[in-house]
Amino acid sequence: MPSVLESIASPTDLKALPPEAMPRLVEELRAAIVEAVSRVGGHLGSNLGVVELTVALHRVFESPEDLLLWDTGHQAYVHKMLTGRLGGFAQLRQAGGLSGYPSRVESPHDVIENSHASTALSWATGIALAERGSTRRIVAIVGDGALTGGMAYEALNNLGHHGVPVIIVLNDNGRSYAETVSRLSQRVADLRTDPRYRSWRGRMDRWLDRRPLAGRVADAGLGAIKTVLSEAPALQAFVEALGVRYLGPYDGHDVEGLELALTHAARSGGPVLVHVLTEKGKGYEPAETDPEKRLHDTSAFDPETGASSGGGRRTWTQAFGEAMLALAERDERITAITAAMPGSTGLLAMAESMPSRVLDVGIAEQHAVTAAAGLAHGGRIPVVAVYSTFLARAFDQTNLDVGLHGEHVVFALDRAGVTGDDGPSHHGILDLALLLRVPGMTLLAPSCEEDLVDLLDVAVGLEGPVALRFPKGAVRRRAELGEVRAIAGLAARRLRRGRDVVVLAVGDRAVPALEAAERLAEEGHDIAVWDVRSVRPADPVMLAEAAGARLLVTVENGVAAGGAGAELVDRVVELVGPMAAPPALRLGVPTAYLAHGAPDAILAELGLDADGIAERLRSALVPGLAPSAPSAPSAPPAEPTGAADAGAEADRTSHEGSSALRAVRTGT
């Protein structure tokens, strides 16, 4: 029997299908999602839950003339399959392949490359205001988790105030990454399980089934009747108080019913919210019963069982979670804060054993940071566990609520550096450059698990704001650094002695820097390597040795401009003066949006693996040997006049010819 899904090259083909073809289509879509994600990893549960909803959206609206805005974009796999990209799922999230989020480069059906939650309603407001009077319909599909973020509420308020004709589809599955944290969501969840609602809904559905189809479509008051009779005033009262009409709730797995609801909403002259109830992971038992988020964004897995097919290596996140639990058991002042990601940040064990000391604020990073400042002021030691990329959403609070007040808040920044598969929005490359702008911020970067544990212990005992950053993936052990000992406090660790060049390696770049130095030693170059551990304050012994080198090199897994290398070079110049300081080469990530791909491959293309570091050192040490990476086209190199200028020159060699950068926009 020919595949229904493979016959769809565009939404036009989807619209031509008869209603009786829908059950088979949604079954094929779910099978295609499981097959693709099981091979290469990706977002599973969220996409399984929106199959019928996405089909209905594309049968009612005219994409790309009508705009479908996904919040967040990780629920857009079905949208991609129905807009001509089914074949691309063989290379989902692979370098040069299909992005895991909407992408303007891929298709005119993708409008916003949205992977940070709670933003689509603001996009919709702006577009609708700019195109007021247009016949184009603007639809924002938001998860209930997005309604725990402040931007969504701000946008709802403006949508209602201006009467902007935007259709908001609330995909309510009761979960974001983990269970949705919100009093409003809890009230809706109460409704969903209320026997009075279920009893009434059954009677209403039987009554509707007996009515002619034309009468059902013409019933303009159906949404309001449902709400009133089901005694579900909370969500309706809230959004309608803001000037947004409410319709629902509707069964999110009934294509025909959803088409009716969306058709009705499209006729509204102002903002309208269509409340849709879905089941995350629908149709795939391992995802339906996933207790937290293992199958939300998963690595490759066995499609028969849902079990991971990866190597199961111990991760930085696991090491942090165990260290947090041990610290919390010793010190009752420690409180962990997460923004809707307790599992992703390693806090599940602590939450289970001491739930009152793990605060989940929902997708609200700004609130998380300022609440942490309040906790610190009240005598607690808050640890804000957050991905590096998401901390950027709360920089103002970090700077002014925590930094300005000198509150002792510890930031545990997971996924720091190049992260890979999820592309430009998820690389954690800005945290060092941003946090170094906060006066009094201590910045720590462990290179191995033992140092992660030790530095976390040190961090909670310090004063003022402290950030501890660590990368994604498998954690290294100290033995991989060679025959080295534990280091007390914030001291740096010398990994290799040398007289000519001093390399200051930050965090996970310590091992590749050491490997590069060993290779060059075979060519007669005498290179010292330091594991920095503490970027600020920097070890004075390390700085003194760096000041006496013929060449100073810094290496970091973060943006080079204004990052750790700039800080360390500045401290050397401060120590001995600009005329006495050695020339400096700062190696790091360019100021650019990096495409998705395997982290190790991206780092190699950027010259931040052992081969790349060795090549850059060799080119700096051997006269006439130019580096292989092309200079960025934004500006010609300046003539260096001292250590700081030499570092700026190095920053301009930003590898923008690499394939990691080729598919995205670069910036300066």
Instruction: Supply the residues annotated as catalytic.
Output: 280, 365, 393
CA dist 87 and 639 (Å) reads 50
C-beta of residue 502 within 8 angstroms of C-beta of residue 553:
yes
CA dist 563 and 420 (Å) reads 20
Residue 211: Cβ-neighbour burial (10 angstroms; 0-12, 13-18, 19+): exposed
What is the gyration radius of the CA atoms in the chain, in angstroms?
Answer: 27
C-beta of residue 87 within 8 angstroms of C-beta of residue 46:
no
CA dist 47 and 371 (Å) reads 33
561, two tokens: 């401009």
Single out the residue of 344, 517, 357 nearest to residue 414, CA to CA. Answer: 344
| 614-619: long-range contacts, CB 8 A cutoff, minimum separation 24 | 614/515, 614/516, 614/519, 614/520, 616/553, 616/585, 616/587, 617/501, 617/503, 617/516, 617/517, 617/520, 617/525, 617/527, 617/553, 617/585, 618/520, 618/523, 618/525
3-class DSSP string for 202-213: HHHHHHHHCCCH
Virtual torsion, Cα 286, 290, 296, 301, nearest 10 deg: -40
Please report the DSSP string for 393-443 in residue order.
Answer: GGHHIIIIIIITTT---EEEEET-B---TT-TTT-B-SHHHHHTTSTT-EE
CA 16 to the chain's CA centroid: 37
Residue 598: Cβ-neighbour burial (10 angstroms; 0-12, 13-18, 19+): middle
CA dist 201 and 217 (Å) reads 18
| 31-34: long-range contacts, CB 8 A cutoff, minimum separation 24 | 32/5, 32/81, 32/86, 32/89, 33/77, 33/78, 34/284, 34/303
CA dist 45 and 288 (Å) reads 8
Please report the DSSP string for 73-90 in residue order.
Answer: GGG-HHHHIIIIIGGGGG
Please report the DSSP string for 586-626 in residue order.
Answer: EEEE-SBPPPPS-HHHHHHHTT-SHHHHHHHHHHHHSTT--
C-beta of residue 364 within 8 angstroms of C-beta of residue 322:
no
C-beta of residue 66 within 8 angstroms of C-beta of residue 569:
no
Angle at which helices 150-162 and 120-130 cross, to 10°: 30
CA dist 414 and 389 (Å) reads 9
Half-sphere exposure of residue 15: CA atoms within 13 angstroms, side-chain side: 11
498, two tokens: 């040398």
Q: 407: left (phi > 0), else alpha (psi -120 to 50), else beta?
A: beta
| DSSP H or E stretch at residue 272 | strand 272-277
